């Protein structure tokens, strides 16, 4: 683990060489070390006061580390957003993938961050081991209930070296490996994996439904339109893939 002073020195370099005033901590779990986190927040807050402005930042965290007081300190130190990997709206699936969080904890984490003035984003995946239409639909319905500010929904990709890759190669958990062509290993527009219980096209449909349920279920139709306009080329591509005649690299989706 890098020292706090080493990280702050890099922030100094980013400001001096790039003119940066914001950063994204890409650690899988920011805050996993309470000691490191508190030292960073104390020193970074002091740094902001010395410079007379706030160097803002965002980070990834886990729902089971939620702490209202910690989030308040993070907001004071310039944290404006936290991203949580929730993955599924099914408790059964969360247990199966050993996520070690509950849906209740996810909701509590989002509420705690919001109360501290920190925006939140939640990440979901369609196509977990043993996923069915019912369990995936639980994700569709849970996304708006979570009340995060934003979401990102991907379709499972069997990246080489992962457990899912091994499952797909062996045909476990109902997985069917559709391709080993790296060009289709993409969580939004790929076509590398299917399940006995869910075709790839069905997973893509559930992916789209999750976005729609989130924006409409949280009464954000205008944001849905803005989202579709911002990603209009991607939305058009997705719509074409969902048509019965959709193809990708010559393969049926």
Residue extents of the structural domains in the chain: 24-252
The pLDDT of residue 250: 39
Domain 24-252 = CATH 3.30.750.200: yes
Query: Which letter, b or e, does each residue of 158-180 get, where b requires 16 or more Cβ atoms within 10 Å of its Cβ?
Result: beeeeebbebbeeeebbbebbbe
Q: Rounded distance, CA 233 to CA 212, Å?
A: 17
The pLDDT of residue 197: 94
The pLDDT of residue 236: 73
The pLDDT of residue 246: 45
Quote the tokens at residue 197: 């219980």
Strands 175-177 and 150-155: unpaired
194-199, long-range: CB < 8 A, 24+ apart: 195/127, 195/131, 197/130, 197/131, 197/132, 197/133, 198/126, 198/127, 198/131, 198/132, 198/133, 198/136, 199/253
Q: Rounded distance, CA 184 to CA 192, Å?
A: 6
Q: Rounded distance, CA 25 to CA 14, Å?
A: 13
Q: CA–CA distance from 126 to each of 11, 30, 64, 82, 154 (Å)?
A: 36, 25, 22, 21, 6
The pLDDT of residue 244: 66
The pLDDT of residue 242: 66
Mean pLDDT split into 10-residue runs, the chain, 253 residues: 96 96 92 94 97 96 95 97 98 97 98 98 97 97 96 96 95 95 89 93 93 88 76 70 54 43
Residue 26: phi and psi, rounded to 5, are -85, 5
Cross-strand pairs, 120: 82
The pLDDT of residue 232: 73
Angle between helices 200-217 and 133-146 (to 10 degrees): 20
């Amino acid at each position: 683990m890098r020292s706090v002073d080493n990280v702050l020195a890099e922030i100094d370099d980013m400001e001096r060489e790039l003119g940066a005033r914001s950063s994204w901590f890409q650690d899988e779990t920011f805050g996993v070390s309470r000691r490191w986190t508190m030292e960073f927040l104390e020193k970074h807050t002091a740094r902001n006061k010395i410079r007379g402005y706030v160097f803002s930042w965002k980070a990834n965290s886990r729902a089971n580390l939620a702490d209202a007081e910690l989030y308040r300190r993070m907001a004071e130190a310039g944290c404006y957003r936290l991203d949580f990997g929730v993955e599924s709206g099914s408790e059964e699936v969360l247990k199966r993938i050993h996520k070690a969080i509950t849906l209740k904890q996810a909701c509590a984490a989002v509420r705690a961050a919001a109360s501290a003035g920190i925006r939140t984003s939640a990440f979901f995946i369609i196509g977990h081991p043993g996923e069915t239409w019912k369990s995936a639909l639980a994700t569709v319905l849970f996304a708006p209930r979570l009340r995060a500010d934003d979401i990102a929904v991907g379709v499972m990709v069997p990246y080489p070296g992962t457990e899912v890759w091994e499952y797909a190669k062996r045909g476990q958990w109902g997985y069917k490996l559709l391709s080993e062509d790296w060009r289709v290993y993409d969580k939004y527009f790929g076509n590398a994996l299917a399940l006995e219980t869910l075709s790839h096209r069905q997973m893509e449909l559930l992916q789209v439904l999750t976005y729609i349920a989130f924006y409409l279920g949280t009464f954000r139709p205008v944001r849905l339109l803005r989202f579709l306009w911002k990603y209009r080329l991607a939305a058009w591509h997705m719509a074409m893939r969902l048509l019965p005649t959709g193809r990708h690299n010559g393969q049926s989706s």
